[in-house]
Structure 1
């Protein structure tokens, strides 16, 4: 295995921000905003950059466009590509812009098509991330805009705005497509697509709840239903936009880094990063979408990514804590009043896929996986299923100490909702790439996280106050 392999794309000396995915001729063309941070030097190119891939593992860097601007979308009409993007000339006004190209490389800016909000329905200071598509049902082009309404009794005016057009040049302001009065901030990176009889509206928001959301409807006009679990991932996945390859749908977002102690929360003399605050930008994360029978959406590892991890590694466990019944890669414990665990004899590679199945008995308080754990159990990253709370919880080594308990003014560092049933078997797949961990559970949900401080350690399984069983555990690497 190449030790320099990178599963989740990040450009050299910089980071990725919002993606603008486009699929054509068997290749994903992923335009994105590049974040140079303190690495920026004169001569570096700003604006949209492009990478291409067919499998989300091997990427080719195509360089920067000659257009400088923010997030948007691309649509092809006949032999001409149309780029819609945004600019930010001032704090009082944002602009939607239009450019065309014959080859996705050289773009001609159509300056006369630039426009801003009307100031009557929509706020000119929030007018960005245009997403354009042909609405066959209505016989017109739709442009979704990340914006805020002008009228409102409170500041919760974030919405998905709507403009319509017949020629991609002249746009009519319509009433908001979705304005629920939930968020203060604009509904960013809005996206819309149809699978079967269902329409899906995606947007991201950084107020009230920092993540990417989705809504569903039988009609492109709504009403927009909020599913029981209305997110694809947690805090460490943002600005997701979708594309379709003719068979499967995918969403492309970014896992943010944690590079600074922005609010001064860290304990004195702490030298690590796990306490640090989330940044804008990081590494590319791709989730494959699945449609459930009731129309709701689920996520899984892209098949092409999972298939890369072909080489199995030896995996064995020591005696651990508590009593376990071990039989041919089946590990079972009854620990109704205590914590039981097994720790692998082998360290986890820095890049790998960990897979397995688990189930738990009635009234079990918690069970799950420990990553990069040491024999003392205090140093490790815990992914904890809590059936009585219907959630997957991430808890780092920081919370295993009194200092960590005092520092964090909340119980959960990261969590994802998931309905859990006693006695049912669940599968899990974990992708680790250095500081990034993607925990996929039962082809339903995923939890993105960062694991900085503990660079090495073992695989652990545990059950807390209950009955649990783990089977078919494996660790695979890219051969």
Structure 2
């Protein structure tokens, strides 16, 4: 089983990930809401599922780790996000216990195991409750535990909110310390950027020469963002490319095998899978992402080589030029200077397919990229696209026609032409800045598509993930060049 597009049969969806690497194997624990639970209260009563892999490609479904306690227990309404750490031959799983009837509904709890399969909850639960000296008592979750060798103790990062400050900017990361993983002392926050309501799923690690503080922010574009520092104590700085993906790849957490660091997260569903319904918490898992540190501290994401190579069966395709001067030579070349050129690719369907191409835009080309699910026949009336905009230094995953202000939507399109453009909170759907321009001016694009889930990897640095429900099983790919020229090298589909 591949990870991309996976949701558990025993749960309604895959939620927050808690990866852990041990003894040659990747363990991916993740939150799963009950089957059929779409509304908040029922959906929040999550349990913890477990996947295992030796190679990042083939994943085995393991027995669930553990679930909520009895009604009234500190974790009776849900087992929320946490982290795993090994110490002296025992595995300690710190997690968030949720009891919605309590004055402090979120507390930090623990379960232990000797084999990562059978877990026993601690009799001391809840182990850590909100400390009212610094923090509010409602938000207190997502513990991340690590060993601080320099300080000679264990530290825990906790998603929290300050007691005082602007209402929507009190989000902070609390810190607790322990010598034995049993007794914990809560202290003042590690970081409080005064930028978010409450940071979720924090983690701290060193990669290359830099320390990284990663957190997810639901109140600001629902993204997983990071900050960099030369010390684990900060001060924390931002970078041009400051997030791991767009707003539809959420709550990313990572683990390291000692050489490489892999990040995991989920691509959300829409409610009841309705194309125009609201987004919900939880969905399907995305592919593993290999995190890389650039010299200036920028954190980039790549598709692991093992996952890329697992798409080994090449699928045939044909090019069908529609508009523009399309020629074949060393690759497929299109000259569309001053206008929009496009061609369709008649190829495989949407089920677990990988498109791989190297795009070389000519100087001063406005945009170039891939059409995904163009609809409306040869007229290209609507669809989706992955667009590289070299002069703007960015990547877009978007749809057309684009969302408009209600004035133009209602007066011009709907009234005069009978066309209604959906007004989405995602507009553009995904927008990512490029961390750098490739030295050779060539951008390798890898697009994975499985059902309604799409992942776009660009130039080994930027990822754009999204879920598209209004698609079909028919061949639906294409190439485009906007106001310029480009060559598409080594284009292939693999399954």
Name the counterpart of 1:35.
33
Shift of 1:378: 2.3
Over 3 Å counting, the alpha-carbon distance change for 1:411 and 1:6 in structure 2 is closer
Maintained 8 Å contact 2:266/2:284: yes
Gaps of 5+ in 2: 69-78, 404-408, 414-418
CA contact (8 A) 1:348 1:372 kept: no
Matches within 5 A, 1:392-471: 392-396=395-399, 399=402, 402=413, 403-405=419-421, 407-408=423-424, 411-418=427-434, 424-455=441-472, 456-471=474-489
In the alignment, does 2:390 pair up with 1:387? Answer: yes
Q: CA deviation at 1:375?
A: 2.8
Partners of 2:308 and 2:115 lie apart in 1 by 32
Q: Report the counterpart of residue 151 of structure 1 in structure 2.
A: 164
Structure 2: distance between partners of 1:293 and 1:346:
40
> Quick one: structure 1 residues 111 and 81, their matched pair in 2 at CA, closer, same or farther if it must change by over 3 Å?
same
Structure 1 SS opposite 2:109: strand
Matched, 1:234 2:235: no
Structure 1 position 220 matched with structure 2 position 232: yes
Query: Residue 139 in 1 paired to residue 152 in 2?
Result: yes
Which structure 2 residues correspond to residues 165-244 of structure 1 after superposition, within 5 A? Answer: 165-184=178-197, 186-244=198-256
Q: 1:410 to 1:294 in 2, by over 3 A?
A: closer
Whole-angstrom distance in 2 between the partners of 1:344 and 1:126: 49
Provide the residue aligned with 1:311 in structure 2. Answer: 313
Which of 380, 395, 403 does residue 377 from structure 1 map onto? Answer: 380
Tell me whether 138-147 or 27-36 shows the greater mean CA deviation: 27-36
How large is the Cα RMSD of the aligned pairs? 2.5
Q: Please tell me whether the aligned partners of residues 274 and 450 of structure 1 are also in contact (alpha carbons under 8 angstroms).
A: no
Between the aligned partners of 1:476 and 1:51, the Cα distance in structure 2 is 25
Name whichever of 414-423 and 353-362 sits farther off: 414-423
Separation in 2 of the partners of 1:410 and 1:235? 8
Q: How far has the Cα of 1:205 moved from its partner?
A: 1.1
TM-score (norm 1): 0.89
For residues 154 and 71 of structure 1, what CA distance do their matches in structure 2 show?
24
**Could you list the per-position Cα deviations for residues 289-345 of structure 1 after superposition, in whole angstroms to 9, with x for gaps in the alignment?**
1122223211111222111111112232123211122214x1222222211111123
- Going from structure 1 to structure 2, the CA distance change for 1:411 and 1:81 (only over 3 Å counts) comes to closer
Aligned ranges 1:244-393 → 2 under 5 Å: 244-260=256-272, 273-285=274-286, 286-328=288-330, 330-373=331-374, 374-393=377-396
Q: Aligned residues, how many?
A: 458
Q: Confirm or deny: 8 A CA contact 1:248 1:288 kept in the other structure.
A: yes
CA deviation after TM superposition for structure 1 residue 204, in Å:
0.6
Question: Displacement of 1:419 after TM fit?
Answer: 5.3
Q: Distance in 2 between matches of 1:153 and 1:257?
A: 32
The match for 1:72 among 72, 79, 82 is 82
